[in-house]
Chain A
Amino acid sequence: MASLDDLKKRIASVKSTQKITKAMKMVAAAKLRRAQESAEKGRPYSEKMNSIILNLSSGISDKENAPKLLSGSGNDKVHLCVVMTSDRGLCGGFNSNIIKKAKSYFAKLAEDGKELKIITVGSKGNDQLKRAYGDKIIANISFKESKHANYFDADKVGKMVIEKFGAEEFDVCTIFYNQFKNVITQIPQAQQIIPLNVENSEEDKSEDSYEFEPDEDEILSNLLPKNISTQIFKAMLENSASEQGSRMSAMDNATRNAGEMVDKLTIEYNRSRQAAITKELIEIISGAESL
C-alpha cells in the first residue's frame, strides 16, 4: 500500500491535470462556437455550387466530350486519397476515426488491385499513416500557421489536386474528413470529388432550361476546378468544427474522470490515515498494558 505522502502527491498531480483538461474544455467550447458558425455559414456556398453544377451537368448533351473533371479520365486504376486531419492532438477519437475510415478504404483498394496515392492534410494524419503507408504518401500539407480554416488554404490544396489530375497522376480522388453533426457525434466521411458524383436528385429537376453565356462547356470547365476547392474548403470547415467538438467532449470526459480519481484517492488517503492512527493507538495501549 502506498504511503500517505505518495497518495498526497498523486492527489495533487491528478488535481492539476484536471485543471488543465478543464481549461482545454473551455477553450475548445469557445472555439467550437466560432468554428460551428463558420461551418454553417459556409454551407450555402457549397450547396449553391453543387446545385448549379447539377443543373449544368444534367443539361449537357455531349457526355463524351464533357470535361475530364466531371467524367473522369476513363480509367479507374490510380486512386488519390486526401486524408484531412487536425494538426493538434488531445481531441479524442477525432483523428483516429478518420484514419480508420481511410485505412479500411485503402484495404479495399488494395484488394481490388488499385494503385494508391495519399495526400495528408494536417500533421496528425501524417503521423498515423506514415508508418503503414509511408511510401504511398506523395505530399503532406499542414496549415499550422493559419488560425482558422480559410478559403485560401483550401484553394492551395485544390490547385494541387487539379494539377496532379492534369498531369494524369491519378484517376479517382476521394477526400476523407469528419462531418460535424453535433458536439458528441462526428461522422467520418469519404467523398469522391473526381470524377464528380452527380446524383440525379429528383427535387431539383427544373424543366425550364437555362441560358448559358458562354456555352456550357466553358462554364463547366471553369466551375469544376472551383468546385474542388469549394468541396475541400467545406471539408476543412466541417473538420475544424468537428475537431473542437470532439476535443470538448474528450476534455469533458477527462475532467470527469480526473474528478472520480481524486475522490477515490481521497478515500484511500483518509482510510490509510485512519489505519495509521488506529495502529499507533493500539501500540500505545498495548505498551501501557504490558507495564
Chain B
Amino acid sequence: MSEEFKIEIVNPEKSFLVKDDVSEVVLPAFEGEIGILKDHISIISFLKPGIIKILSKSGDENYYVEDGIVEFKNNNLSILTSSIFNLTDLEKSKQQDLLKLAEEEAGKPDISDQSKYLVDQKIEVLRSLN
C-alpha cells in the first residue's frame, strides 16, 4: 500500500482512466523519459509522442499518446491528453492511419522545427510498434 499512488488520465471527452494502485509510471516527457514513483517531487511537464507505461498491482498497461500535459502533486498523477490509445486495443489499421497522417504532416514544406521534431518522434514510435 505504501508504495502506491493514484493516476488519472483525462481526455477532453471523458475521464479515460483512473487507478489508485499504481507503483510506477514511465512517461515520454518532452525532454526525455521520466519515471515516476511515489513521493516524487511536484512536477509539471508535457509529453511528446510515445508510450506511457503504467505498472500496477492489477497488471501493467501501455498506452500510446501523441501529446499531453502531466501534473504530479501529492501523489496524484494527472495526465491531460487529447489523443491516447491503449496499445492492446490499438488495431493495426488505426496504427497505420496514424502513421500515414504523421508522414503526411512531416512532408509539408512549411513545417516548423518544433513540430517537425514532434512528428518525427511520432513516426519513430509508431514504426517501432510494428
> A residues touching B (Cβ–Cβ < 8 Å)?
38, 41-42, 44-46, 48-49, 52, 55-56, 150-151, 154-155, 206, 208-214, 219, 222-223, 226, 230, 233
Contact = CB atoms under 8 A, between A and B. Distances in A.
Given A48-B80, A206-B73, A212 B45 contact: yes
A124 B71 CA distance: 40
B44 A219 contact: yes
A211 B42 contact: yes
B55 interface: no
B62 interface: no
Nearest to A222: B46
B13 interface: yes
Contact of A38 (B14, B30, B71): B14
B45 A151 contact: no
A48 B15 CA distance: 11
B129 interface: no
A42 B12 contact: yes
DSSP class of B's interface residues: helix, strand, loop or mixed?
Answer: strand
Interface string B71-96: 10100001010100000000000000
Contacts of A38: 13-14
**CB-CB nearest 5 A-B residue pairs:** A41-B14, A151-B12, A213-B45, A211-B43, A45-B10
B12 A45 contact: yes
Contacts of B45: 212-214, 219
Contacts of B80: 45, 48-49, 52
Interface in B3-62: 8, 10-15, 29-31, 34, 41-46
B123 interface: no
Interface majority SS on A: helix, strand, loop or mixed? helix
B18 to A, nearest CB: 10
Interface of B: 8, 10-15, 29-31, 34, 41-46, 69, 71, 73, 78, 80, 82
A212 B44 contact: yes
Nearest to B82: A151
Given A45-B80, A52-B71, A211 B13 contact: no
Contacts of A49: 69, 80
Contacts of B15: 41, 44
Given A212-B45, A214-B31, A52 B12 contact: no
Contacts of A155: 82
Given A212-B45, A219-B46, A230 B71 contact: no
Nearest to B45: A213
B13 A42 contact: yes
A52 B31 CA distance: 19
Contacts of B41: 211
A155 to B, nearest CB: 8
Contacts of B12: 42, 45-46, 151, 154, 230, 233
